[in-house]
């Protein structure tokens, strides 16, 4: 109940229609309970007195009550369908919005399939719960109460017979439902894992085929699917036990009531009409009682779905910016400055040393700094701190003298543009992918960015810039994807530009053309460029060497070649000299 009650803020706007549907359904259910009373009147009256007109009247009343019941259930469905669809859409939109605002560190920890299953399968379960099981838990409970009141009103001694097994039945159901709840959570988590596996297999299909790993991937999928099958079978066994209890126990009680009632009729202690009405009422209560097991199982699955949904929604968002007063005034045209910056990944094991242990670096306004270092030295991590994809764990990063940690992220990311070594494109047109870097840019800016990144191949695509590039841009080559990502980074003429080895997938000829055009862009911005090759380093005014979590040398390319052994080794790839040193 604690889990399901958390849905109330979403259900509140549609509460009138939700409660209205419950009231209509309870009324419809009560119509069914009036039918046994009409049968009692018919049997003890017109049938006993051989009155055909009375029999027709009784039959007409039963037909009318049946039609009213059917019509009211139709109204219930009309009342609830549209609001519940809207509620599901709002919850999905909130989840998506929250996921977009959560830091990259959160997404590093979570499998995409787990998040996908929460945004699709779990929300469908919750919508179905609010539309049907929740309503009918109220309806069936009300029906059972009213039905037993009718049973006691007709013959209280007979009414006790089906009531006796109620308490042990509830105890047993509670026991089984507790076990069912655990199995349900396990199954939903396994669905998330299976979704992740399928998604990774689809996105990595080229690698799987290239290395001939389809059999091993199929075996991995088979094991995951088999584990899910086992959990679902356990759920089925538990549910079968519950169904057996809620079906067999009331039926045994009904059989006993039939025998006792028949004896009382034979002894003239009970009228035949009363016995017919009693048995008809008991039979009318059979579905509400039997369905409780199914409704409880769906409620458990819904509670699990709610827990999984709020597990994500409860993840706290990092502060957009701190309200503490800035230390020091704003320095005009100061560029990018790192002061004692430290960093370790949030999920790093305890005792793991910081990746960055105190970075001090200044990139004056209008200059380009190349950042070089060995693999794993933290270059990409350092660049990710500027737009605050990760938060620095110590020190300070300022942009034109303003602490980046005190800038709202929306404003910060409007100032800083990035292009990563592994380009990501979306299932959209070339135009939409590039203009993601500056939605307000026009056709002229789009063309300028494409020319800067040497994206002439776009004009050869079937629909030009309006061609859909497909999921992850897999319809394009690696170099084409990288050039489009670079165009996206420069389309908005950013104030600060961060490039993580943006030319690694280009051939020598194309790289030279891109470098020539990129120099014009770099001349009008302040840039930090991660570089692994001398040709990329030569784009920069100065070079910084990152080693041991710190900046150990800064200078021009030629200065560092002459004065810094480690830099010379990185640029030359001379592993023998490095080992000897």
34, exposed or middle or buried, with CB in 10 Å at 0-12, 13-18, 19+? Answer: middle
Q: What is the full per-residue pLDDT of the chain (581 aa) written as tens digits? A: 788 888 888 888 888 888 888 888 888 888 888 888 787 788 877 777 777 777 888 788 888 888 888 888 888 888 888 888 888 889 999 999 998 888 888 888 887 778 888 888 889 889 888 888 888 888 888 888 888 888 888 778 787 887 777 777 777 777 777 787 788 888 888 888 888 788 778 767 767 776 677 788 888 888 999 999 999 898 888 878 877 877 787 778 888 888 888 888 888 888 888 888 888 888 887 778 777 777 877 888 888 889 989 989 998 887 765 543 444 444 455 889 999 999 998 878 887 888 999 999 999 999 999 999 998 899 999 999 999 988 999 999 999 989 998 888 888 888 999 888 778 888 888 899 899 888 888 889 999 999 888 888 898 888 889 988 876 666 788 788 888 888 988 898 889 999 888 777 677 777 788 888 888 888 889 999 998 888 888 889 999 999 999 999 999 999 999 999 999 888 886 544 443 33
Co-location of 203 and 132 in the same domain: yes
Closest of 537, 484, 493 to residue 515, by C-alpha: 537
Q: Which domain holds residue 245?
A: 87-313
Residues 6+ apart with CB under 8 A from 231: 183, 186, 187, 190
Q: Are 143 and 288 in contact (CB under 8 A)?
A: yes
Q: Is 132 helix (H, G, I), strand (E, B) or coil?
A: coil
Write down the pLDDT at residue 580. Answer: 36
Domain shared by 268 and 343, yes or no? no
- CA-wise closest residue to 520 among 500, 502, 539: 539
CA distance 170 to 179: 15
- Say yes or no: 97 and 232 in one domain: yes
Handedness of CA 264, 268, 274, 279 (dihedral sign): positive
* Whether residue 133 sits in one domain with residue 91: yes
- Confirm whether 150 is domain-assigned: yes
Cβ neighbour number for residue 332 with a 10 Å cutoff: 8
Contacts of 483 (CB under 8 A, 6+ apart): 453, 454, 455, 506, 510, 514
Phi-psi region of 563 (alpha: psi -120 to 50; beta: other; left: phi over 0): alpha
Which pLDDT value is given to residue 112? Answer: 78
Question: What CATH number does residue 114 fall under?
Answer: 1.20.1560.10
Report yes or no on 470 lying in a domain.
no
Q: Does residue 47 lie within any of the structural domains?
A: no
In angstroms, the CA 550 to CA 303 distance is 49
Q: In the structure encoding, which two tokens stand for residue 76, read together?
A: 């219930």
Nearest to 488 by CA among 577, 554, 423, 555: 423
Q: Is residue 494 classed as helix, strand or coil in its secondary structure?
A: coil
The answer on 309 and 385 residing in a single domain is no
Q: Tokens for 114, please give them.
A: 């787990």
Inside any domain, residue 409: yes
Whether residue 468 is contained in a domain is answered as no
Please state the domain count of the chain: 2
- Asked whether residue 308 falls in the same domain as residue 342, the answer is no
Residue 576 buriedness (CB in 10 A; 0-12 / 13-18 / 19+): exposed
Question: What local confidence, expressed as pLDDT, does residue 375 receive?
Answer: 87
How far apart are alpha carbons 581 and 565 in whole angstroms? 9
Digit-coded pLDDT (tens) for 105-151 = 888 888 777 888 888 888 988 988 888 888 888 888 888 888 888 88
Residue 558 sits in a domain of what CATH number? 3.40.50.300
Name the nearest CA neighbour of 277 among 144, 142, 147, 145. 147
pLDDT for 328: 44
Spatial separation of the C-alpha atoms in residues 103 and 393, rounded to whole Å: 14
Q: Residue 434: name the closest of 501, 481, 510, 491 by CA.
A: 491
Residues 300, 341 within the same domain:
no
Q: Give the C-alpha separation, 173 to 241, whole Å.
A: 9
- Burial readout 422-431 (b: 16 or more C-beta within 10 A, e: otherwise): ebebeebbbb
Query: What is the pTM assigned to this prediction?
Result: 0.69
Structure tokens at 443: 């056709």
Among 535, 407, 430, CA closest to 491:
430
* 27 lies in some domain: no
Whether residues 109 and 216 share a domain: the answer is yes
Does residue 431 belong to any structural domain of this protein? no
Helix (H, G, I), strand (E, B) or coil at 147: helix
Q: Give the separation between CA 492 and CA 439, rounded to whole angstroms.
A: 8
Are 350 and 202 contained in the same domain?
Answer: no
Whether 113 and 209 map to the same domain: the answer is yes
Q: Are residues 209 and 271 both part of a single domain?
A: yes
DSSP-derived 3-state class of residue 392:
coil
> Residue 555: in which H helix or E strand, if any?
strand 550-555
Domain check: are 540 and 506 in the same one?
yes
β strands within 325-454, DSSP E: 336-343, 356-363, 368-373, 394-399, 402-403, 416-419
For residue 242, is it within any domain? yes
């Amino acid at each position: 109940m604690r889990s399901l009650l958390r849905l109330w803020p979403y259900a509140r706007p549609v509460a009138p229609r939700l409660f209205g549907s419950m009231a209509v359904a309870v009324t419809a259910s009560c119509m069914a309970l009036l039918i046994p009373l009409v049968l009692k009147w018919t049997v003890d009256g017109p049938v006993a007195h051989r009155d055909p007109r009375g029999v027709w009247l009784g039959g007409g009343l039963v037909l009318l009550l049946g039609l009213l019941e059917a019509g009211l259930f139709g109204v219930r469905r009309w009342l609830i369908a549209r609001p519940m669809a809207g509620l599901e859409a709002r919850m999905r939109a909130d989840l998506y919005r929250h996921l977009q605002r959560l830091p990259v560190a959160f997404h590093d920890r979570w499998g995409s399939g787990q998040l996908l299953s929460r945004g699709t399968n779990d929300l469908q379960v919750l919508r179905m719960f609010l539309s049907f099981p929740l309503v009918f838990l109220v309806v069936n409970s009300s029906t059972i109460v009213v039905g037993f009141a009718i049973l006691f009103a007709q013959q209280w001694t007979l009414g006790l017979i089906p009531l006796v097994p109620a308490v042990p039945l509830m105890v047993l159901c509670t026991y089984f439902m507790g076990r069912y709840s655990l199995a349900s959570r396990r199954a939903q988590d396994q669905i998330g894992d299976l979704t992740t596996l399928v998604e990774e297999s689809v996105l990595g299909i080229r690698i799987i085929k290239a290395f001939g790993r389809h059999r091993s991937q199929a075996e991995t999928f088979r094991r995951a699917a088999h584990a899910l099958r086992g959990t679902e079978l356990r759920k089925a066994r538990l549910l079968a036990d519950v169904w057996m209890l809620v079906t067999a126990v009331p039926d045994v009680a009904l059989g006993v009531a039939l025998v006792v009632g028949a004896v009382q009729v034979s002894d003239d202690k009970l009228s035949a009409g009363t016995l017919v009405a009693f048995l008809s009422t008991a039979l009318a209560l059979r579905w509400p009682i039997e369905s409780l097991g199914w409704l409880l199982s769906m409620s458990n699955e819904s509670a699990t779905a709610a827990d999984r949904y709020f597990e994500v929604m409860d993840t706290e968002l990092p502060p957009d910016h701190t309200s503490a007063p800035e230390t020091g005034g704003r320095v005009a045209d100061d560029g990018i400055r790192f002061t004692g910056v430290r960093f370790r990944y949030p999920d790093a094991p305890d005792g793991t040393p910081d990746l960055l242990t105190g970075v001090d670096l200044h990139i004056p306004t209008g200059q380009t700094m190349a950042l070089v270092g060995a693999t794993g030295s933290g270059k990409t991590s350092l660049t990710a701190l500027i737009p605050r994809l990760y938060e620095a764990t110590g020190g300070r990063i300022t942009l034109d003298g303003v602490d980046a940690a005190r800038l709202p992220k929306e404003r910060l990311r409007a100032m800083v543009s990035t292009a990563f070594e592994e380009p990501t494109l979306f299932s959209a047109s070339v135009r939409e992918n590039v203009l993601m870097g500056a939605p307000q840019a026009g056709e002229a800016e789009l063309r300028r960015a494409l020319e800067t990144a040497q994206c002439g191949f776009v004009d050869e695509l079937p629909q030009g810039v309006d061609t859909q590039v497909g999921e992850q841009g897999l319809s394009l080559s690696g170099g084409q994807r990288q050039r489009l990502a670079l165009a996206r980074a420069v389309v908005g003429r950013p104030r600060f530009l961060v490039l993580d080895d943006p030319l690694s997938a280009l051939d020598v000829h194309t790289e030279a053309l891109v470098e020539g055009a990129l120099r014009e862009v770099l001349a009008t911005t302040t840039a930090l460029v991660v570089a692994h090759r001398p040709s990329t380093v030569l784009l920069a005014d100065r070079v910084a060497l990152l080693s041991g979590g710190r900046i150990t040398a800064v200078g021009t390319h030629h200065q560092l070649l002459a004065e810094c052994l480690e830099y010379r080794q990185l640029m030359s790839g001379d592993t023998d000299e490095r080992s000897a040193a």
